[in-house]
């Protein structure tokens, strides 16, 4: 089943005074790119987190935002050693700058690191379990949205392939009907150019006319085009997302459309070729969003 690269997921987890909120946003990208915005305690496990995401997604730029809120203790303590160090540093700085103002307590209190009870640099095992649980919920939510959008894309792409097949059938029918007309036009053109019939090798002329008319025949291109369409529809039914394969197939389809357009010299066929190219281009644009 094809999967879109665009999606959003969110989940919250709370346990023993700790609340973890995670958001995941996904957009188009040629490869899988994961960025993480989180507290330092979580960033220390960045590689583990990215491995969890890689197990569920193959392509797309995925941005994870993590917010952790903890209930703070009512008792606030001061780290005296740190406070003394900052006080000493401020005194040295005052002397260096030639400042006569005395160092006051209010100046030292500006440094947040003197307070005990600030966020720990490591997550506890309990907090990590809560984080993983919440992250899995987010990834499931993101996967569901990407899958739902992929299902909608599949319907749209299948309809466009159907439109292309109908146009190709119409082109094939017109090409067969008009091939004899084209041959007659070639004969008339040759006859108008060559006046001395005695010098004409009728068999050679007929052979050249057949060769020229064969060059205008688009049957082979249409057969190949429809084969590509069938491969495309089969790829849409695959269990895994087939973005890269579909992009390759659409390139082949575009090549056949260009060849048919260059070989056709009929206005009605040319109009149908334009419609085919329009659908191919719309499909190509849609494929940019498929994993």
Has residue 228 got a pLDDT over 70?
yes
Has residue 148 got a pLDDT over 90?
yes
Across residues 186-199, what is the average pLDDT? Answer: 62
pLDDT at site 72? 62
pLDDT at site 242? 86
pLDDT at site 212? 61
pTM: 0.70
pLDDT at site 113? 67
pLDDT digits (tens, 9 = 90+) for 236-249: 998 877 888 999 99
Percentage of residues in the chain having pLDDT higher than 90? 52
Indicate the pLDDT class of residue 215, thresholds 50, 70 and 90.
low
Beta carbons of 246 and 287 less than 8 angstroms apart = yes
Separation between Cα atoms, residue 104 and residue 172, nearest integer Å: 91
Has residue 225 got a pLDDT over 90?
yes
β-partners of residue 64 are 24, 36
Across residues 80-100, what is the average pLDDT? Answer: 84
Mean pLDDT of the chain: 85
A 10 A CB-CB count for 199 gives 7
Indicate the pLDDT class of residue 2, thresholds 50, 70 and 90.
confident
Q: Which domains does the chain have, with CATH numbers?
A: 7-73+122-147 (3.30.230.70), 80-114 (no CATH), 149-287 (no CATH)
Indicate the pLDDT class of residue 195, thresholds 50, 70 and 90.
low
Indicate the pLDDT class of residue 166, thresholds 50, 70 and 90.
very high
Across residues 243-270, what is the average pLDDT? Answer: 90
Percentage of residues in the chain having pLDDT higher than 70? 83
Supply the DSSP symbol for 112.
G
Across residues 58-83, what is the average pLDDT? Answer: 80
Helix, strand or coil, per DSSP, at residue 145: helix
Higher per-residue confidence, 49 vs 265: 49
Higher per-residue confidence, 150 vs 108: 150
Indicate the pLDDT class of residue 7, thresholds 50, 70 and 90.
very high
Separation between Cα atoms, residue 218 and residue 280, nearest integer Å: 18
Across residues 137-153, what is the average pLDDT? Answer: 95
């Amino acid at each position: 089943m094809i999967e879109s690269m665009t999606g959003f997921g969110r989940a919250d987890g709370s346990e023993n005074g700790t609340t973890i909120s995670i958001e995941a946003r996904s957009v188009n990208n040629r490869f899988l790119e994961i960025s993480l915005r989180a507290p330092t305690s979580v960033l220390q496990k960045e590689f583990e987190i990215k491995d969890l995401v890689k197990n569920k997604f193959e392509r797309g730029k995925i941005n994870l935002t993590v917010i952790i809120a903890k209930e703070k203790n009512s008792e606030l303590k001061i780290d005296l050693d740190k406070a003394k160090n900052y006080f000493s540093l401020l005194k040295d700085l005052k002397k260096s700058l030639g400042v006569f103002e005395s160092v006051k307590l209010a100046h030292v209190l500006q440094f947040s690191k003197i307070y005990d009870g600030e966020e720990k640099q490591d997550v506890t095992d309990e907090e990590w379990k809560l984080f993983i649980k919440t992250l899995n919920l987010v990834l499931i939510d993101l996967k569901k949205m990407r899958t739902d959008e992929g299902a909608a894309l599949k319907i749209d792409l299948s309809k466009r392939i159907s439109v292309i097949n109908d146009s190709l059938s119409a082109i094939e029918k017109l090409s067969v009907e008009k091939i004899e007309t084209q041959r007659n036009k070639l004969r008339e053109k040759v006859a108008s150019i060559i006046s001395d019939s005695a010098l004409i090798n009728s068999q050679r002329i007929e052979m050249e006319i057949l060769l020229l008319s064969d060059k205008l025949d688009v049957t082979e291109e249409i057969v190949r085009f429809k084969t590509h369409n069938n491969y495309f529809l089969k790829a849409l039914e695959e269990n895994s997302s087939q973005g890269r394969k579909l992009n390759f197939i659409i390139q082949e389809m575009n090549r056949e459309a260009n060849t048919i357009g260059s070989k056709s010299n009929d206005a009605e066929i040319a109009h149908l070729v334009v419609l085919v190219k329009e659908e191919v281009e719309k499909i190509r644009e849609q494929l940019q969003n498929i994993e």
